[in-house]
Structure 1
């Protein structure tokens, strides 16, 4: 009759409940002998911003939308400057910076599209689930998206607006054009760049609320164009006050204020459009934060 094999000696299981980064006891020993080579740090907003920057610079939609934006702003701006300088020897004392309005108005559609895609596209692909698993703090994720997008949109717009501004000043030199003052340069470059970046951030918030790319883009384009179009067809005298308000507070008119080319003599002026857009963006982001915490991903 064969002898049964001796029992396998039992060793104490390591304490896996120890704190992250703490030493674990080696198998068969009561002494701690293992230290994790992976540093354990407390995550913060900076990590989320780095993650969102990696995402936004690696997707093709960013390159396409910003590429079309640069093409529209610089291309239309240059074409406008060449046409005006070649056909009108007397600029009538107008500021050359105002010619950049047309390209930036059309380029704003690209900023709106990219802002929506920054949030809504992740819901369409399901990537938002992975994002929330990697960073369970939903508010931090949305804040990181807003910060990264705002800075990117502001820098790209500022570079384009400044470049086209210098081109227009050079093209209209000697055409009796008004020499832009320091404040006009500030509003025509930094001011309009802040406004468009906020408009794109508003679109980002709407994309987070709607969670559907096509729907959010349609809503934002409607918000840009609808007030002006509706006002054009208000012929009744009883609707004159409404028509005037739609003209004054339409986004195209507010953008033109940065170039002193308002469609209305009353209403917002100076830096008012920037504060209006700031309040609207803050309200939309507040609603997006609140809904993000209540909804299932």
Structure 2
């Protein structure tokens, strides 16, 4: 029959296991802790957009297209126009051709600003660092809009000044035409890029979102060109009037049609469409997993 063993003596717990109390105050991190806000998200998104190669490539190609084609068109017209033929022309209108092609670059950058993070998985890190998803989308939108507007405005102003100098026989643009041909068109193109950013957030696939946006720009005009039936005349006219190329031409007072949007109407239309898309993207972002 075995003899019962005496109980083992209790040993004091080491300091690192001792319960916190008056003798062991709570640990305080030496790293300062502050409440995050939208400014922190803006700083993060600015660091992203200026540090990736896609930004430099897309904006670089955009500037080359806008400035190069705008100057080339004005120089070609100036060299072949007879005396007095340009008397009634708005010299700013020759910037239209470069901006129409440059839209593709702005669309690409807008989509990549959001969709590329879903493709690489970086969006999980972003949402972990900033759990407030709406703040992330808002910061991306603000940073992208400022960048797109600034680059477009600088390019449009450069082309406008050069075209006025090249086409000395053309009439002098009015102050409202200067405003629409520089600031107005820059706002419009930046809004198209912002709509692309929102579509990228919804689709979460770069190629798919870029395809959708290019279709939105080109499809209405191309479809209208092949509508020959008289029964479709009203639809054909509407597609012409509200196509993005026609709306872009309105900023230079040379609408491709005699009816449809005029003045600042294209800007308000694009602003309403972008705001509605942004609201939908915000709701989806809050409901879906990243």
Q: Which interval holds the TM-score relative to the shorter structure?
A: over 0.9
- Deviation by residue 1:60-106 (Cα, 9 ceiling, x = unmatched): 00000000000000111111111111111431411100000000000
Structure 2 residue 247 is matched with structure 1 residue 254: yes
CA 1:267/1:38 → structure 2, altered by over 3 Å: closer, same or farther? same
Q: 1:75 maps to what in 2?
A: 68
3-state SS of 2:108 partner: helix
What stretches of structure 2 of length at least 5 have no aligned partner? Answer: 1-7
Structure 2 residue 150 is matched with structure 1 residue 179: no
- Deviation by residue 1:223-247 (Cα, 9 ceiling, x = unmatched): 0000000101111111111111000
| Distance in 2 separating the partners of 1:51 and 1:5 | 57
| Distance in 2 separating the partners of 1:91 and 1:145 | 44
Selected match of 2:204 from 211, 214, 220: 211
Q: 2:96 maps to what in 1?
A: 101
3-state SS of 2:35 partner: coil
Structure 2 residue 110 is matched with structure 1 residue 115: yes
Shift of 1:9: 5.5
- TM-score calculated relative to the size of structure 1: 0.90
How many residues in Structure 1 have an aligned counterpart in Structure 2?
Answer: 279
Superposition RMSD on alpha carbons, in Å? 1.7
- TM-score calculated relative to the size of structure 2: 0.92
Selected match of 2:269 from 259, 266, 276: 276
| Distance in 2 separating the partners of 1:86 and 1:14 | 86
Larger mean CA deviation between 282-291 and 87-96 belongs to 87-96
Q: 2:285 maps to what in 1?
A: 292
CA 1:178/1:14 → structure 2, altered by over 3 Å: closer, same or farther? farther
| Distance in 1 separating the partners of 2:24 and 2:259 | 82
Q: 2:119 maps to what in 1?
A: 124
3-state SS of 1:155 partner: helix
Shift of 1:7: 3.9
- Deviation by residue 1:6-42 (Cα, 9 ceiling, x = unmatched): 9455433447xxxxxxxxx8xxx4467x653322111
Structure 1 segments of 4 or more deviating over 6 A?
none
Q: 1:145 maps to what in 2?
A: 140
